[in-house]
Amino acid sequence: MSARFQTAYAGGEITPRLIDSPLRLQTVIWNSSGPGSVGYTVTELLDNMPAVVERRLWLLGGLSWRSYVTPALPPLVFRALCKAGVAASTQGRIASRAVLNSICGGDILYIWPPYDKALIQRARDRGAIVVAERINCMAGMGRDVMERAYARRGLPLPQGWFEPSDIAEERAQMLLCDFIFAPNELVAQSVRSAGIAEEKILHASYGFSPERLAYAIEIQRPARDPVFAFVGAGIVRKGLDVLLESWDRAEIKGKLLIAGRVGEEIGRVCASILAREDVQLLGYVNDITSVYAAADVFVFPSHEEGGPQVTYEAAACGLPCIVSEMGAGRVVRDGCEGLVIDPCSVEELASAMTRLAEDLTFRKELAANAEARAGKFTWAKVSARRYQQLCDAAKSR
């Protein structure tokens, strides 16, 4: 953007003036103090924004591993709060003063969870445009989905999950925002179901780095019994119990790789399947590209997601994907690049795995389609689309 409104904020009054300036993007994450899954996603999005964007990433503390990263708390204060066990959301409310002091009218405040309602309101009072990132669906839909996932095990939701007060607070936070990024259609549906206007929803996606995955892209996989791979936390939410039961039922001549730490609950109820010779527990894997390179099929029957990074990466590595509707992101379409299944149906998942294990021609067709479609989701292309959406959002205000 070549021009935008900036406001002088003094004495409670806002005075707009038109200035010649690029887009100013102030991003806030109060649950990440360094590189990690969320940190990685945010920095890829910001790194690939056009050079004209003035960007700043606010964190609670920690190392500044990018030039645009700004700790919102002094190091001693941050360490003291962490040592005292103060929650990130509470630390964020303390840190928000530093963010507010830097905000000018016309800035875009780009917030990631946990959200701070006071920060949202005060930033808007200063003339900022507030855009929220929904990395998961709204809590109302999340509750319904996870109740079903636990019910199939004959269990209630864990105590404290999706409390009515938390659902109401989240809705109030989103209603205050000017726009909301929804990385898949079910996230968008959850936002609509919460009574939030359609015009606030920015349909988006996540992406992948070709450089990060280089040695697993366009590789020739050997003739062998098929290798299936799951990447993620080994918990009920990710559907690992459904996958293990389906693997046991399908009796596939092949191998199942599980990359990620298996939770105690799954370890207890699926102990006999986890002990099988054709199930390989890899634990936490630092170089996840090695898992994609070793696999022939990616399987991820997650119950609740916003747009899982691993699905984009697996497709980019030429892996046909078996995913749930919630875990498909925007890179997998049923019957084109992969198979979309009901994450609560052991029979459906077992059938999908058997089909890809036995039909090599179909598997290769899906693999080629997945790799081709993934080309639309490099971080450079994803960030370019996000930049245009942010410019349009700024113009609309």
pLDDT for 62 beyond 70: no
Q: Please tell me the predicted confidence (pLDDT) of residue 7.
A: 39
Residues 6+ apart with CB under 8 A from 39: 29, 32
**Burial of residue 105, with CB atoms counted within 10 A of its CB: 0-12 exposed, 13-18 middle, 19 or more buried:** buried
Q: How far apart are CA 75 and CA 96, in angstroms?
A: 15
Q: Please tell me the predicted confidence (pLDDT) of residue 25.
A: 94
Q: Please tell me the predicted confidence (pLDDT) of residue 14.
A: 36
Rg (CA), the chain: 22
Segment 336-341 mean pLDDT = 94
Band (pLDDT 50/70/90 cuts) for residue 19 is very low
pLDDT for 6 beyond 80: no
Band (pLDDT 50/70/90 cuts) for residue 208 is very high
DSSP 279: E
**SS3 assignment, position 254:** coil
Maximum distance among all Cα pairs of the chain, rounded to whole angstroms: 73
Q: Please tell me the predicted confidence (pLDDT) of residue 307.
A: 82
Residues 6+ apart with CB under 8 A from 370: 314, 315, 316, 318, 319, 320, 321, 331, 332, 337, 338
Q: Please tell me the predicted confidence (pLDDT) of residue 63.
A: 62
Mean pLDDT, all residues of the chain: 90
Structural contact between residues 292 and 313, judged by C-beta atoms closer than 8 angstroms = yes
Q: What number of other Cβ atoms are within 10 A of residue 40's Cβ? A: 14
Q: How far apart are CA 320 and CA 132, in angstroms?
A: 32
**Cα dihedral value 228, 321, 303, 179, nearest 10:** 140
Segment 162-184 mean pLDDT = 96
Q: Which tokens hold the place of 328? A: 């498909």
**SS3 assignment, position 365:** helix
Segment 119-142 mean pLDDT = 95
Q: How far apart are CA 49 and CA 384, in angstroms?
A: 6
Band (pLDDT 50/70/90 cuts) for residue 8 is very low
pLDDT for 331 beyond 60: yes
Segment 71-85 mean pLDDT = 90
pTM over 0.85: yes
Cα 250 to Cα 245, 253, 354: the distances in Å are 9, 9, 6
Segment 20-32 mean pLDDT = 79
**SS3 assignment, position 123:** helix
Q: Please tell me the predicted confidence (pLDDT) of residue 10.
A: 37
Q: How far apart are CA 294 and CA 316, in angstroms?
A: 14
**SS3 assignment, position 363:** helix
Q: Please tell me the predicted confidence (pLDDT) of residue 306.
A: 84
Q: Please tell me the predicted confidence (pLDDT) of residue 29.
A: 87
pLDDT for 160 beyond 50: yes
Look at 265 and 19; give whichever has higher pLDDT: 265
Band (pLDDT 50/70/90 cuts) for residue 36 is low
Domain definitions of the chain by residue range: 4-207+378-396, 214-376
Band (pLDDT 50/70/90 cuts) for residue 329 is confident
Structural contact between residues 296 and 252, judged by C-beta atoms closer than 8 angstroms = no
Beta bridge partners of 201: 180
Least trusted range by pLDDT, from 89-103, 199-213, 266-280, 313-327:
89-103
Q: Please tell me the predicted confidence (pLDDT) of residue 21.
A: 53
Q: Please tell me the predicted confidence (pLDDT) of residue 18.
A: 38
Q: How far apart are CA 341 and CA 325, in angstroms?
A: 7
The per-residue pLDDT for range 346-376, each reduced to its tens digit, is: 999 999 999 999 999 999 999 999 999 999 9
pLDDT for 278 beyond 60: yes
Short-list 344, 319, 342, CA closest to 332: 319
Most confident of 42-56, 62-76, 81-95: 42-56
pLDDT for 377 beyond 70: yes
pLDDT for 317 beyond 90: yes
Taking CA 91 as the corner, what is the angle to CA 86 and CA 94, rounded to the nearest 5 degrees? 130
Q: How far apart are CA 319 and CA 44, in angstroms?
A: 23
Band (pLDDT 50/70/90 cuts) for residue 16 is very low
Cis ω for the linkage preceding 114 (within 30 of 0): yes
Looking at 126-261, list the stretches that DSSP marks H as alpha helix, in order from N- to C-terminal side.
139-151, 164-176, 185-193, 240-250
pLDDT for 231 beyond 90: yes
Segment 295-301 mean pLDDT = 98
Q: What is the CATH number of domain 4-207+378-396?
A: 3.40.50.2000
Segment 61-84 mean pLDDT = 85
Structural class in CATH, domain 214-376: alpha beta
**Burial of residue 284, with CB atoms counted within 10 A of its CB: 0-12 exposed, 13-18 middle, 19 or more buried:** exposed
- Topology agreement, domain 4-207+378-396 and domain 214-376: yes
Short-list 333, 396, 394, CA closest to 53: 394
